[in-house]
Amino acid sequence: MKLKVGFYGITGCAGCLLSVIFNEDEILDLVDLVDLKAFPFVKEVNIDEKFDYVFMEGLVADNDDLKTLKKLRKNSKFLVSLGACASTGCVPAYRQYTLKENYEHLIYKKQKRLQDLKASPIDDHVKVDYYIPGCPPDKKEIVNFVKNLVIGKEPKPFESPVCVECRQNGNQCLLDLGKPCLGPITAGGCDAVCINGKFECWGCRGPTKDMNLDLMIKMLRDRGFDDKFIQDRMRTFVGLKMPMIEEYMCSTGTANRLKTSFKGKKEYFE
Amino acid sequence: MSKTITLNHITKIEGHASLSLGIKNDKVTKCELSATEGSRYFEGIVKGRRYYEAHEMTSRICGVCSCAHVVAAISAVENAFGYKPSKQTKQLRELMTLGERIRSHATHLYFLALPDYVGYGSALAMAKKYRKELQNALNLMKCGNGIIKLLGARELHPVSATVGGWLKIPKEKEIENVKKTLISVREDALKTFSLFSSLNYPEFETESVMFSLVDKNKYSVLDGTFSSGNMKTTKKKYREHIKEYQVPHSNANFVTYDNYQYQVGAMARINNNKKQLHNKAKKLLNKSKIKFPSKNPYTNNFAQAVELVHCIEEAIKLCDSLNLKEEKLDKLKVKAGTGIGCIEVPRGTLWHEYTLDKKGIITNANIITPTAQNLFSVQEDIKELVPSIIKKKKKDIIMDIEKLIRSYDPCFSCSAHFLEVKWV
């Protein structure tokens, strides 16, 4: 029997679901490997029950999202968090670290039907069995994940930092150029795609389990970045999955005791 | 006799929307189109961040048109500093935008719109009978993705475009390869054009005004004046004409131009820029039985197919005219001010506006997406359409309405990060 699979999205940008479809060479065969019961983004009729696997894109932003999420959790054996919004809350959840007055005027006060909730990743509300991180995930990663499920192989997360693949690709280290790259503390598996394009890593796949946050903070300070900038960057994609950065940064924090220095140019746009 | 039609989760669109329709004695008593996507408040989130961070964050508004948000945000910031990018940078931005239009139109036409017209529930279900047609779509999508990946390093949320230039300039050989792919999909675009000119589009006329960027010399992508015939506005004065207001049933703003409902997108672009189309597309259009200017929103799908032919030719031309050399990023003179970026993207005209303080920190942001601008028009069109199809079965009424909504190629992820609102 084929695995019963559904692809769903709650509040998000549809980028992760698109990444599924953008597997131009594989998509038509891929959907044949499974019993695709639901994919509302491209399908008219969607039967939302008795799933083996539900892939969920998006974060919980209102009560509608929560209702959908809970129902699908109940109706599936395994829930897969697809992409950064579902896994970490991504950029929309960054609003927790901004001043309320920044977006307060955008809120319509009389709303009744859709109630805003704290923008949060789905594992704040339900149990998640697997994570495919990234904003968006590598499209091949999604295909491989499904293929693994079909042949009964347990999917394994990529645990080494982005720097591993970045070195393999022979990229010039952006930290050496004085740019605020978060590659050293970020889980890889993305083929260091942003640094391949000479753009620094913003950490969208979430921190590695054994990250050295102290050293990262110190390295960024050495390069002339102030603490607010460092905090903002680290929180943009994965703030809710980071430890209390302030504690690392305060005067008694261990980041202050590290002895490193940076002799390159300190000029990142400013 | 009274009927109520509620479409709670409209499928095959980007994002989430619903429609609530009341009919009494063959008259429409209620018609409310709502974006039900959760609010993400991007305009609030970017406040306090630096000018060179806006595009990386706002690209997350939408996966489908992430290149568009990147380029619009960058243009707005550069506009605030009074900076003009180099010719090469502009060419690269244009090529990436064209690549995105090819990808987006192909995806929308085949995966979201076509199944309605051939009586299938989804493109994936069509794979057995229409494999060849789907292969056209996949080839076109792959070509668009290839362009974006080469220029922007990623297919979604590209990163190499930045304020003041381009981080990684592609090699000449890579551009050669892109050109080869573009040439190889010419045939796919022509087939798409024939397919979409052979479909039977329901007859209907909208009252909406057609707006797009118009440039005398060029089919609009990054430049031009936002206009429709004699109605026009400069970027600077757009707020005097374009008004956003909340409606109590939707999670997105409704937008008007001088109080008129208006439509943006492929059809509006062709209506306003027919003369500037590439010769090949122009010839096809002139021979076709569907005539432009058109006021039938259903023909927006057809317009997208025409644009596919046009964009591929323009992209090939652009590849030929590129004379790539290494360029260092320009250092920008940071100063306080407001900047506006306004470009044509797959679904219409996109506006980004940022106010920056003297250190280059964003103090205010305003973003108006194509779908937000189209929303009012879609709703009014539904209101107009329903009386003429009221004798049909409920199922068919729903089909006609859904077709209409999808023909606009709406993207509710894009439109719904601004406002709250709802049943009052």
Do B174 and B136 form a contact (C-beta atoms < 8 A)? no
Neighbours of B56 (CB within 10 A): 24
Distance CA B159, CA A93 (A): 21
With an 8 Å Cβ cutoff, are A42 and B123 in contact? yes
Residue B282: burial class (beta carbons within 10 Å; 0-12, 13-18, 19+): middle
What does the pLDDT look like over A102-116, one tens digit per residue?
Answer: 887 777 554 555 678
Query: Which residues, in sequence order, are bridge partners of residue A186?
Result: A207
- For the segment A240-251, the average pLDDT, to the nearest whole number, is 85
Q: How confident is the model at residue B411 (pLDDT cuts 50, 70, 90)?
A: confident
Identify the structural domains of chain A with CATH numbers, from first to last.
4-150 (3.40.50.700), 162-257 (no CATH)
For B366, name the nearest residue in chain A, comparing CA atoms only. A106
Do B98 and B343 form a contact (C-beta atoms < 8 A)? no
**Is B419 in CB contact (< 8 Å) with chain A?**
yes
Identify the structural domains of chain B with CATH numbers, from first to last.
42-415 (1.10.645.10)
**Is B52 in CB contact (< 8 Å) with chain A?**
yes
For A32, name the nearest residue in chain B, comparing CA atoms only. B124
- Integer angstrom CA distances of residue A132 from A36, A88, B197: 19, 11, 41
Distance CA B166, CA A222 (A): 26
Distance CA B298, CA A22 (A): 26
Distance CA A265, CA A184 (A): 20
Chain B CB contacts of A99 under 8 Å are 47-48
With an 8 Å Cβ cutoff, are A25 and B142 in contact? yes
| pLDDT score of A267 more than 80 | no
Distance CA B25, CA B42 (A): 43
Chain A CB contacts of B15 under 8 Å are 14
Coil/strand/helix, residue B262: strand
Alpha-carbon torsion, ordered B46, A183, B151, B149, to 10 deg? -100
- Integer angstrom CA distances of residue B187 from B112, B135, B191, B194: 21, 12, 6, 11
Angle, CA of B205, B207 and B211, to the nearest 5° = 110
- For the segment A149-178, the average pLDDT, to the nearest whole number, is 94
- Integer angstrom CA distances of residue A260 from A109, A217, A218, B124: 50, 11, 7, 55
* Contacting residues for B187 by C-beta, under 8 A, at least 6 apart: none
| pLDDT score of B415 more than 70 | no
Coil/strand/helix, residue B142: helix
Ranked by mean pLDDT, the top range of B230-234, B310-314, B326-330 is B310-314
Given this model, what pLDDT does residue B102 score?
A: 97
Q: Which of B7, B58, B131, B159 to mutate to test the interface with A (most CBs of A within 10 A)?
A: B159
CB nearest A98 (choices: B12, B48, B251): B48
Secondary structure (DSSP) of A188-235: --STTHHHHTT-----TT-B-TT--HHHHHHHHHHTT--HHHHHHHHH
For B57, name the nearest residue in chain A, comparing CA atoms only. A91
**Is B152 in CB contact (< 8 Å) with chain A?**
yes
Chain A CB contacts of B61 under 8 Å are 13
What global pTM score does this model have? Answer: 0.94
Chain A CB contacts of B160 under 8 Å are 197-199
Given this model, what pLDDT does residue B119 score?
A: 85
With an 8 Å Cβ cutoff, are A44 and B121 in contact? yes
Pairing state between β B225-228 and B231-233: antiparallel
**Cis peptide bond prior to A155, omega within 30° of 0:** no
Give the number of beta-carbon pairs within 8 Å between A and B. 217
Do A116 and B41 form a contact (C-beta atoms < 8 A)? no
* Contacting residues for A11 by C-beta, under 8 A, at least 6 apart: A58, A59, A60, A61, A62, A65, A85, A92, B16, B37, B38, B40
- State the nearest Cα–Cα gap between B181 and chain A, in angstroms: 14
| pLDDT score of B245 more than 70 | yes
CB nearest B112 (choices: A13, A42, A112): A42
Q: What share of chain B is helix, strand, coil (3-state, %, to 5)?
A: 50, 20, 35
Report percent pLDDT > 70 for chain B: 94
With an 8 Å Cβ cutoff, are B139 and A64 in contact? no
Among B274, B296, B297, which Cα is nearest to B285's?
B274
- Would you give the DSSP letter of residue B372? H
Q: Which of B105, B124, B131 to mutate to test the interface with A (most CBs of A within 10 A)?
A: B124
With an 8 Å Cβ cutoff, are A31 and B124 in contact? yes
Chain B CB contacts of A269 under 8 Å are 50, 52, 163, 332
What does the pLDDT look like over A169-184, one tens digit per residue?
Answer: 999 999 999 999 999 9
With an 8 Å Cβ cutoff, are A14 and B127 in contact? no
Q: Which of B12, B49, B51, B60 to mutate to test the interface with A (most CBs of A within 10 A)?
A: B60
Q: In whole angstroms, how large is the CA radius of gyration of chain A?
A: 20
Q: Which of A29, A33, A37, A42 to mutate to test the interface with B (most CBs of B within 10 A)?
A: A42
**Is B424 in CB contact (< 8 Å) with chain A?**
yes
Given this model, what pLDDT does residue A243 score?
A: 85
For B111, name the nearest residue in chain A, comparing CA atoms only. A42
Chain B CB contacts of A202 under 8 Å are 56
Do B336 and B329 form a contact (C-beta atoms < 8 A)? no
With an 8 Å Cβ cutoff, are A108 and B422 in contact? yes
- Would you give the DSSP letter of residue B111? I
Q: What share of chain A is helix, strand, coil (3-state, %, to 5)?
A: 40, 15, 45
Distance CA A78, CA A227 (A): 40
With an 8 Å Cβ cutoff, are A28 and B246 in contact? no
- Integer angstrom CA distances of residue A178 from A113, A149, A200, B168, B204: 48, 42, 10, 17, 59
Structure tokens at B310: 């046009």
**Is B250 in CB contact (< 8 Å) with chain A?**
no
CB nearest B413 (choices: A13, A197, A198): A13
Do B160 and B152 form a contact (C-beta atoms < 8 A)? yes
* Contacting residues for A28 by C-beta, under 8 A, at least 6 apart: B124, B127, B131, B134, B138
Q: Which of A10, A17, A18, A270 to mutate to test the interface with B (most CBs of B within 10 A)?
A: A18
- For the segment B296-318, the average pLDDT, to the nearest whole number, is 97
| pLDDT score of A137 more than 80 | yes
CB nearest B156 (choices: A10, A119, A136): A136
| pLDDT score of B88 more than 80 | yes
What does the pLDDT look like over A204-217, one tens digit per residue?
Answer: 999 999 999 999 99
- For the segment B302-309, the average pLDDT, to the nearest whole number, is 97
Distance CA B371, CA B409 (A): 8
Q: Write down the ipTM of this complex.
A: 0.94
Residue A44: burial class (beta carbons within 10 Å; 0-12, 13-18, 19+): middle
* Contacting residues for B35 by C-beta, under 8 A, at least 6 apart: B15, B16, B17, B250, B251, B252, B375, B412, B415, B416
Structure tokens at B363: 């103090």
**Is B60 in CB contact (< 8 Å) with chain A?**
yes
Residue A124 identity: D
Terminal CA-CA length for chain B: 27
CB nearest A116 (choices: B16, B122, B420): B420
- For the segment B242-271, the average pLDDT, to the nearest whole number, is 88
